[in-house]
Structure 1
Amino acid sequence: MNATIRLALAASLLAAGASHAQDGELSIAMLIPGKIDDNGFMEAGYNGLLKIEKQFGAKIAYTDQVQPEQDKLEEALRALARQTPDMVIAHGGQNNEAAKTVAAEFPDIPFVVVQGGVTGPNLSSYEVLQEHSAWLGGAAAGLLTQSGVVGHISGIRVTPGLKGRGGFYHGLMHTRPDATFLTIFAGNQDDTELAARVAKAETDQGADIIFTMLNAGRQGATDAMREAGAKQIGNVIDWTKVEPDVFIASAIADVSIPSVQAVQDLVDGTWKPETVKHIGLENPEAVSLTLSDSVPAEIRDRIDTLREQIVTGEIEVSTEYSGPELEM
């Protein structure tokens, strides 16, 4: 497809979205592969859809609890697209390839992947930079650890999770370059028993702070860490307000925001295909590190300084990690 045709398609998609919004007929469909009540990433996506319903008066539809296998994700997206909504949103980077395939089958419908990295003639991605808050979380862990051993636990090996792990590691190395880093992708975001076993394995090796990027499985890790006397750094939401006895910090990346932003762009006539839109620490409502009340003022000040250095570009957040991983 040449540039002229792409521009024409983009213009027609934008006009359609703006027209529906003005007529009060806006309809948005979302694929949420996991559980909408997982206290984590998937629930944040669902909350974004509810915000869209309230903020824009939109008619909403969603499909949830789909196995992260491409053929199943594709069929779920097709079923939503057949309803001819004004936009289809796929929540999560695990939808990247499925969204590329299905968007091509429905060229008149705008598609968006939240926390994705794919684009197409009618496809864009919106990504909250979890690695920014994760980097600060790693820096805080380096300043707070007593044992010098810091852990990381995640489930599915998806790109945003890999980036978050890499960002956390480099933040840790920035403030505590001699730290020992334990990391694992255990294969499941929602299994509490598995998360508990992995957390115990890391605390048994001396980890006194662990960064968890989990969904419903997080409670298992939290219980195990409470028993071991270890501290946790959470993600997505502010866990320091939920279980303050365990959580010493939380690397917030509000992934309800990208879907709302995508719909706002559609309504405003500014949504663009073939783009990846990034949202980082410059938007503290979307990305930030919260610290528990027990964190000393001097460490808070240090984290504030590091945040500014990331925003200004003085510190570049690396997301690469090629070191060893824990085996279970």
Structure 2
Amino acid sequence: MKFKQLTQLTVTIAALCVAAGASAATPKLAIVYDAGGKFDKSFNQSAFEGAERFKKETGIAYMEAQASSDTQAEQMLRNLARKQMDLIAAIGFSQTQAVQKVAKEFPKVHFVLIDSIAKGDNVNSVLFREEEGSYLVGVAAALSSKTKKIGFVGGMDIPLIRTFNCGYAQGAKAANPKTENFSNMVGTTSAAWNNPAKGAELARAQFDRGVDVVFAVAGGSGMGTLQTAKEKGKLAIGVDSNQNYIHPGTMLTSMVKHVDTAIYDSFMQMKNGTWKAGVTYKGLKEGGVDWVVDKDNRKVVSPEVEKKVNEAKTNIINGKIKVHDYRTTSTCPV
């Protein structure tokens, strides 16, 4: 009888150990999108796609929330932290202060912040070398422009968006020194990411000045820029996600920023127990940024343009071309 009871006890302990192991490998995950919204066809959507890829491969679900303001972001992060999440992904620089504050309050909860640096032993900050990817599409724009006038429509006027513009201008000038770059920002608040009418207005004004290729780095506002390019018969360049499919034949290319990979990797690292705090940089060499040639823009990218852009890509990766990062000096060399 005692032997039978002992055997049952052993089986019970073993079952509990298995359950504990399964729990350790099944992290509680969450993601907080910024004001651009989950389906902005750009930055936030890329993050969502990375989380969905993780979910599909592992069967592990995650919680979602969207912050429409900095104050709301802090509240959402804190509410999720109280639910004892293992990892919370905060999408966008606007959540920097909120992450730093909440991470300090909940040292056992881990955070990954996209596009900015927040201090904390439980925070991994992921930064991209946007200037490198923007340089490539700048080369493509200059070589594809017939007027030698290219444009840039940014969302919120912040160093990050100026970094895109500076890299774009550097690539364009390298490809053709006579290229002119006309640039405008939608606004100075988070509302700048959700104003497609303004994005369209700025693009229209640039086209009236002779611009025939425009790079939209404006979240939801950029949708207005891309639509106007189509209506005017001009070329447009998408950002963050591959946006070539939005207006096939009008889209010259997209400067993709693999936020999806960053989120997927962070979730997987948490699952596998390899997640680490610190700062992670992702450029061309790391596969963090790139340009896109696919079925939707194949007809508007000439073999010469593709060759030149890929040469520039190789030279950036091997160090022969150094692209200036606007954020290091708050100035652009061109």
What is the TM-score normalised by the length of structure 1? 0.85
Q: Indicate the percent of aligned positions where both proteins have the same amino acid.
A: 23
Structure 2 unaligned runs (5+)? Answer: 1-19
State the secondary structure of the residue aligned to 2:230. helix
Pairing 1:116-265 to 2, within 5 Å after superposition: 116-187=116-187, 188-265=192-269
Please report how far the alpha carbon of residue 76 of structure 1 lies from its aligned counterpart in structure 2 after TM superposition.
Answer: 1.7
Alignment of 1:282 with 2:285, yes or no, is: yes
The 1:254/1:128 distance shift into structure 2, 3 A limit, reads same
Please report how far the alpha carbon of residue 214 of structure 1 lies from its aligned counterpart in structure 2 after TM superposition.
Answer: 2.5
The answer for the alignment partner of 1:84 in structure 2 is 84
Q: Contact 2:111–2:123 at 8 Å: present in 1 too?
A: yes
Alpha-carbon RMSD: 2.0
Q: Contact 2:284–2:290 at 8 Å: present in 1 too?
A: yes
Pairing 1:87-98 to 2, within 5 Å after superposition: 87-98=87-98
The one of 302, 324, 332 aligned to 1:318: 324
In structure 2, what residue type is equivalent to 1:151?
Answer: G
State the secondary structure of the residue aligned to 1:194. helix
Please report how far the alpha carbon of residue 263 of structure 1 lies from its aligned counterpart in structure 2 after TM superposition.
Answer: 1.9
Counterparts of 1:107 and 1:20, CA distance in 2: 23
Please report how far the alpha carbon of residue 315 of structure 1 lies from its aligned counterpart in structure 2 after TM superposition.
Answer: 1.1
127-136 vs 229-238, which moves further: 127-136
Please report how far the alpha carbon of residue 22 of structure 1 lies from its aligned counterpart in structure 2 after TM superposition.
Answer: 5.7
State the secondary structure of the residue aligned to 1:282. coil
The one of 35, 38, 41 aligned to 2:37: 35
Q: Contact 1:26–1:57 at 8 Å: present in 2 too?
A: no
The answer for the alignment partner of 2:115 in structure 1 is 115
Bigger share in helix: 2
Counterparts of 1:20 and 1:63, CA distance in 2: 28
The answer for the alignment partner of 1:304 in structure 2 is 310
State the secondary structure of the residue aligned to 1:135. helix
In structure 1, what residue type is equivalent to 2:304?
Answer: E
Larger radius of gyration: 2
Q: Contact 2:26–2:271 at 8 Å: present in 1 too?
A: no
Residue correspondences, number: 301
Counterparts of 2:145 and 2:283, CA distance in 1: 26
Counterparts of 1:128 and 1:322, CA distance in 2: 18
In structure 2, what residue type is equivalent to 1:32?
Answer: Y
The answer for the alignment partner of 1:267 in structure 2 is 271
Q: Contact 2:186–2:218 at 8 Å: present in 1 too?
A: no
Please report how far the alpha carbon of residue 257 of structure 1 lies from its aligned counterpart in structure 2 after TM superposition.
Answer: 1.1
Q: Contact 2:213–2:234 at 8 Å: present in 1 too?
A: yes
Counterparts of 1:20 and 1:261, CA distance in 2: 21
Please report how far the alpha carbon of residue 280 of structure 1 lies from its aligned counterpart in structure 2 after TM superposition.
Answer: 2.0
Please report how far the alpha carbon of residue 245 of structure 1 lies from its aligned counterpart in structure 2 after TM superposition.
Answer: 2.3
Pairing 1:62-77 to 2, within 5 Å after superposition: 62-64=64-66, 66-69=67-70, 71-77=71-77
Please report how far the alpha carbon of residue 227 of structure 1 lies from its aligned counterpart in structure 2 after TM superposition.
Answer: 2.6
State the secondary structure of the residue aligned to 1:146. coil
Counterparts of 2:166 and 2:271, CA distance in 1: 35
Q: Contact 2:230–2:247 at 8 Å: present in 1 too?
A: no
Structure 1 unaligned runs (5+)? Answer: 1-18, 324-328
The one of 41, 50, 53 aligned to 2:52: 50
